[in-house]
Chain A
Amino acid sequence: MPAIDLQGVTKRFGDVTALRDVDLTVEDGEIYGFLGPNGAGKSTTINILLDFIRPTSGTANVLGYDAQAETVEVRKHVGVLPDGFDVYDRLTGRQHVQFAIDSKPGADDNPMAILERVGIPDAADRKAGGYSKGMAQRLVLGMALVGNPDLLILDEPSTGLDPNGAREMREIIREERDRGATVFFSSHILDQVEAVCDRVGILRQGEVVAEDTIEGLREAVGGQASLTVTVDRVPEDAVETVMGVAGVSEVSVEGTELTVACEDSAKRDVLDAIEDAGAQVETFGTERASLEDLFMHYTNSEVVDA
């Protein structure tokens, strides 16, 4: 049974389509990174899983429960770090965690142990209204850990955390996975996802545009190279000529420099084509494409696909 299963989920707010026919499966026990630029629909997806909003069409299942019809069952087994939350200003950190313990049937955690784990034991008896954004983030992560949930849903968990805090967050995510929990978290920053995820899904403008393991994505970009060529002058038809070379996906010109995204094996042909067009190649360099390029490629709508 998958931990999360979305089938054909569409969500419209008036005329705006926030999610379009999203299919997404998160397997039991994996860390799943949900990537996409801000506004791609990540929070909308998570809000549907938690029944904060209702899909216009499609179905959402969480741990085998229908997210809309069996909401309380879902919430009993899930730990949540939502997006755009606010803490209770007058409650201390300890009281927040205690409230989560009181709310979750069967939870018997020690609030202090939780607060130590998320790194804010010193703030336990201070009112959360005075917490920094990062501390509030840690506190709510702590509340999410209460009751050893089967699934953690974390919306942009690193928000407000310094690099050290982000690293501690990743450690907790790994610990939870090793305990047997499934972790589903969203981010608009690739590094965070790359470092910890078993699998990622990339969302762009409300659509899932890629879903693979990190390895798989690496392989997909593995044969790709970025070739930078400096010439004496750029002939008028240079771009068209280079685009005509088999294996080239993208060409851009800046001054006398051409940047060509192409398959590794096409580099020689590209250089030949440039010279045939009448330009003198002065220098050239190649770089292997990174996952970052791929992410940019998937999420940047300006890029024209070849």
Chain B
Amino acid sequence: MSWTVVAKKDFQDAVRAKSLWALTAIFVLFAGGLSYAYGATDLAGGNSDITAIGFIGFLQSAGVLLVPIIGLLVGYKAVVGERESGSLKLLLGLPHSRRNVVFGKLVGRTLVVAVPILVGYLAAAIIGIALFDTFAFVDFILFTLLTIGFGLAYISIAVGFSSAMASQSRAAALAIGLWVMFQLGWQALVILVQWVVNGFSLPSGQMEPWLVLLLQITPNGGYGMSTFFFIPDEAFTSQYDAFYLQDWFGLVILAFWIVVPITLGYLRFERADL
């Protein structure tokens, strides 16, 4: 399997470059630190029990800040970096198709993010078991896997850009632009849309369902919705009837972001003159 050779080398490169260890340290400090903070202080609020479910919500909202940056950083050079330096010619001089190069890179880079998430969240779980009143281990495992899926969506976006672009700086600019849009500007953008379709004034009352979908359609939104799907908690249940606003639809949104960017990037790469 040619893509496994590419993925293995890509992962080993991250080990050699020590970036795997750096990322693992980051995630251990991040998740372990939050777990300690959540267990040792009164972040859960008042007299309520300190539980893994509460912590998952806490870790989820913090992870939305960290995971996308890591995913984009790990992924954006994957293909275009080799294209610019010329090592891609060695890679494609061997019996690897362009599809296997892109797919192998996606898998390799995903592992580079998945291993640190696993180790970091395991550290969080160990601390949580020691400090929390209760710890729902299965829920936490599901949440960890979901977080890896969230990372995969951003890696798919980054490797997609990396495959589609001929220069590293363009791939980086697109990755940064997308991050800013999804992380900082999305809500404002949706409100702007709402304002425009409502005849240049903001409506009162509940948002239209399709606007809520628009709000949730980013990987971040999909990650949030599917977290609630796996870890049901009354407080998070959707107030809308539309099927696309039920928590399970978050998985569809995430799947979209995992499959589509890398596919589009690959299709452009496949047609490119290198």
- The answer to whether B17 and A90 touch across the interface, beta carbons within 8 angstroms, is yes
Interface of chain B, main secondary structure:
helix
Interface residues of A in 134-149 (CB under 8 A from B): 140, 143-144
A209 interfacial contact with B, CB 8 Å: no
A163 interfacial contact with B, CB 8 Å: no
A245 interfacial contact with B, CB 8 Å: no
- The answer to whether B86 and A90 touch across the interface, beta carbons within 8 angstroms, is no
B238 interfacial contact with A, CB 8 Å: no
- In the complex the two chains form, what is the Cα distance from A47 to B273 in whole Å? 9
Say yes or no: A99-B9 contact (C-beta < 8 A), given A85-B90, A87-B87, A140-B90. Answer: yes
| Contacting residue for A85 out of B87, B95, B271, CB 8 A | B87
CB-CB < 8 A to A86: which residues of B?
A: 85-87, 90
- The answer to whether B87 and A75 touch across the interface, beta carbons within 8 angstroms, is no
User: Which of A48-56, A191-199, A265-273 faces chain B?
Assistant: A48-56
User: Which of A100-108, A255-263, A290-298 faces chain B?
Assistant: A100-108
- The answer to whether A50 and B92 touch across the interface, beta carbons within 8 angstroms, is yes
B residues adjacent to A (C-beta < 8 A)? 2, 5, 8-9, 13, 16-17, 85-87, 89-90, 92-97, 271, 273-274
By beta carbon, the residue of chain A nearest B87 is A86
Say yes or no: A82-B94 contact (C-beta < 8 A), given A52-B274, A53-B274, A90-B17. Answer: no
Distance in angstroms from A67 CB to nearest chain B CB is: 13
- The answer to whether A103 and B96 touch across the interface, beta carbons within 8 angstroms, is yes
- The answer to whether A75 and B9 touch across the interface, beta carbons within 8 angstroms, is no
By beta carbon, the residue of chain B nearest A11 is B273
Identify 27 residue pairs between A and B in the complex whose beta-carbon atoms are under 8 Å apart, listed by A's number: A13-B273, A47-B273, A47-B274, A50-B92, A50-B93, A52-B89, A52-B273, A52-B274, A54-B271, A71-B97, A72-B2, A72-B96, A75-B95, A78-B93, A80-B89, A80-B93, A82-B89, A83-B89, A85-B87, A87-B90, A90-B16, A99-B5, A99-B9, A103-B94, A103-B95, A103-B96, A143-B90
- The answer to whether A82 and B5 touch across the interface, beta carbons within 8 angstroms, is no
- The answer to whether A75 and B274 touch across the interface, beta carbons within 8 angstroms, is no
A76 interfacial contact with B, CB 8 Å: yes
User: What is the total number of residues of chain A having a CB less than 8 Å from a CB of chain B?
Assistant: 32
Q: Which of A52, A83, A84, A96 has the most CB of B within 10 A?
A: A52
- In the complex the two chains form, what is the Cα distance from A91 to B16 in whole Å? 9
- In the complex the two chains form, what is the Cα distance from A140 to B87 in whole Å? 11
A284 interfacial contact with B, CB 8 Å: no
Q: Which of A100, A102, A143 has the most CB of B within 10 A?
A: A102
- In the complex the two chains form, what is the Cα distance from A141 to B16 in whole Å? 24
- The answer to whether B2 and A103 touch across the interface, beta carbons within 8 angstroms, is yes
| Contacting residue for A75 out of B16, B96, B271, CB 8 A | B96
By beta carbon, the residue of chain B nearest A50 is B93
Q: A82-B86, A103-B5, A105-B95 are in contact. List 19 more A-B contacts (CB 8 A).
A: A13-B273, A52-B92, A52-B273, A54-B273, A72-B2, A75-B95, A76-B95, A78-B93, A85-B87, A86-B85, A86-B86, A86-B87, A86-B90, A90-B16, A91-B16, A100-B94, A103-B95, A104-B94, A144-B93
Distance in angstroms from B74 CB to nearest chain A CB is: 16
CB-CB < 8 A to B96: which residues of A?
A: 72, 75, 103
CB-CB < 8 A to B2: which residues of A?
A: 72, 103
- In the complex the two chains form, what is the Cα distance from A51 to B273 in whole Å? 9
Distance in angstroms from B16 CB to nearest chain A CB is: 5
By beta carbon, the residue of chain A nearest B90 is A85
